[in-house]
Structure 1
């Protein structure tokens, strides 16, 4: 039975969130019948109040493996933070490792089973069919965040409305009067890149604006890719007046290239990013971008993984959270 201090902490969190103690309890136990925004708020307050889920004994703690592809960047750090906050509120433990370990083949999957993992979450990477077969046989569920490819049917994935986000970013630039709008994207085969690019193309086609082949560049989602492809775009005989970049880091890359050439951001070149990471507000001018609810994506992945590990059925094998255009100072009318 919880002690009075534990009950008081639950009541304090509930009062701070403006919800009932029962709702806080549902969040702690990973229940699905809580609104996403309420869940994120309660999870944050649980951490701030230092609440400890005393009913969870160490031997009962569910440990989830979180595999992160490549070095942490602004985007992945936000998602990892969301996973960790959700785990703190659910009484789960998270082990963060690099997807380089997945190269170990089937032995990697067996190692997770031997280590007592209850579920696996991967960020922008998927297990191979052979690895997946071993994991599924051991009833070890896999949840992929922002998959690079369309996941296999037994895999649950969490992402955002990339197509709608790409369309809204491009429509914003079109509404400002831009017609020479370029797309600076991530890996050509990445599912999220494909969706954002198709959203861009759909907006351009609807507006009756042709897209020159040289205006579509794909490489990666990181800052150096923005510099590399941004240089190519601004070297064109007829360079764009606006660029929709498929990540905030890509946007910062082309902003750097533009400034090195004496161009003014917004006045001479409008730039829109994607993600709305912390760096979007650190640029001068602040970056117009499409907000992905990155921390919420991490939290949803964690709770979904725990539900699957408990033998529950999920409503959908692919969960998409809504994006939102955030207009700041990096985009102006021509």
Structure 2
């Protein structure tokens, strides 16, 4: 069998009907290329699976791009701290971009990072199309996805947390306190972390011989308003839960507010568990029992991984899940009449 012909800039240029320097400008994110020409060249780069060869003599830029779908959340600050710490260790800097969409990076963003010759890209909670993955690879830009929304494509390096184990530990804690009617509020159904936390919740109930009641499971966003709305709905049921496991600390704060508005005391009348262990969790009232998600460590691991890939080394694993831990504080107690 003949060896596969290596795809070169010259070959792409000939097929596109442009000069080799024009193809090089597209690969490197240079602006002086007509939009139609750029689209044609990018299509051929994608079609042929072009990969830019990075010379060993090429010096690192000392930059890592950290890309968020949105940044208005406490999670973002924890991720930024972790990324900054890992970059500082490597004598690199972090450039932060916000897409304001979960659809993933677009052409303009790709051209900007290619132009500044970043060493690698860490993408937080976004979906990556096959086209964008190919464009990143064609530009020899190593990338890692942190907490991907959906199942990562084959070969994509990702970093997450043990969400299933966290959901199991949170629910098991409530069961061991004596709760039998436990509500669950989680995030969107198409997010991997959301479904994994629900699966852990259900596994804990099944292990304890408690039937899972679908009316006690609610899906929303991971924000305060969602916790308040769904918490109110659960607590005003004819047979309300005595405990609620919220899929994020922000949701848990919303549940605490819903309980106060309904005249319920936490933990005397209702136990609440969150997920994340944000800095605000220990200063909530009462201090929140929660599952610690190592957000900073996740971002730091992702930064170290892209810098490893930048040196031409393969990552130790394509999918890494860092351990979660249950942190017990004052928002959980046995249900009334027990303990």
Q: Same fold (TM over 0.5)?
A: yes
Quickly say closer, same or farther: Cα 1:196–1:103, change in 2 above 3 A.
Answer: closer
Residue 238 of structure 2 aligns to a residue in which SS? Answer: coil
Matches within 5 A, 1:103-142: 105-142=106-143
- 1:235 aligns with 236
Residue 163 of structure 1 aligns to a residue in which SS? Answer: helix
Residue 281 of structure 2 aligns to a residue in which SS? Answer: helix
- 2:165 aligns with 164
Residue 140 of structure 1 aligns to a residue in which SS? Answer: coil
Matches within 5 A, 1:298-317: 298-317=299-318
- 1:151 aligns with 152
Equivalent-residue separation in structure 1 for 2:310 and 2:220 (angstroms): 36
Q: CA offsets, 1:278-302, max 9 Å, x none?
A: 0111111100001111111111011
- 2:83 aligns with 83
1:66 to 2:66 alignment: yes
Q: CA deviation at 1:104?
A: 6.3
Residue 183 of structure 1 aligns to a residue in which SS? Answer: strand
Q: CA offsets, 1:71-113, max 9 Å, x none?
A: 3312221111110111112111111111237766334323321
Q: Is the 8 A contact 1:61 1:93 kept in 2?
A: no
Equivalent-residue separation in structure 1 for 2:240 and 2:271 (angstroms): 12
Residue 100 of structure 1 aligns to a residue in which SS? Answer: coil
- 1:208 aligns with 209
Q: Is the 8 A contact 2:104 2:126 kept in 1?
A: no
Quickly say closer, same or farther: Cα 1:276–1:327, change in 2 above 3 A.
Answer: same
Q: How many residues align?
A: 276
1:264 to 2:265 alignment: yes
- 2:176 aligns with 175
Equivalent-residue separation in structure 1 for 2:333 and 2:66 (angstroms): 40
Q: Is the 8 A contact 1:297 1:321 kept in 2?
A: yes
- 1:187 aligns with 188
Query: Which structure 2 segments of 5+ residues have no match?
Result: 1-58
Quickly say closer, same or farther: Cα 1:238–1:302, change in 2 above 3 A.
Answer: same
- 1:39 aligns with none
Equivalent-residue separation in structure 1 for 2:147 and 2:161 (angstroms): 8
Q: Is the 8 A contact 1:106 1:130 kept in 2?
A: no
Q: CA offsets, 1:20-54, max 9 Å, x none?
A: xxxxxxxxxxxxxxxxxxxxxxxxxxxxxxxxxxx
Residue 285 of structure 1 aligns to a residue in which SS? Answer: coil
Residue 249 of structure 1 aligns to a residue in which SS? Answer: helix
Equivalent-residue separation in structure 1 for 2:153 and 2:80 (angstroms): 23
Q: CA deviation at 1:128?
A: 1.6
Query: Which structure 1 segments of 5+ residues have no match?
Result: 1-58
TM-score scaled to structure 1, two decimals? 0.79
Equivalent-residue separation in structure 2 for 1:103 and 1:150 (angstroms): 14
Residue 267 of structure 1 aligns to a residue in which SS? Answer: coil
- 2:43 aligns with none
Structure having the larger proportion of residues in helix:
1
If you compute each CA radius of gyration, which structure gives the higher value, 1 or 2?
2
Q: Is the 8 A contact 1:141 1:155 kept in 2?
A: no
Q: CA deviation at 1:60?
A: 4.4
Q: CA deviation at 1:274?
A: 0.6
TM-score scaled to structure 2, two decimals? 0.78
Q: CA deviation at 1:324?
A: 0.6
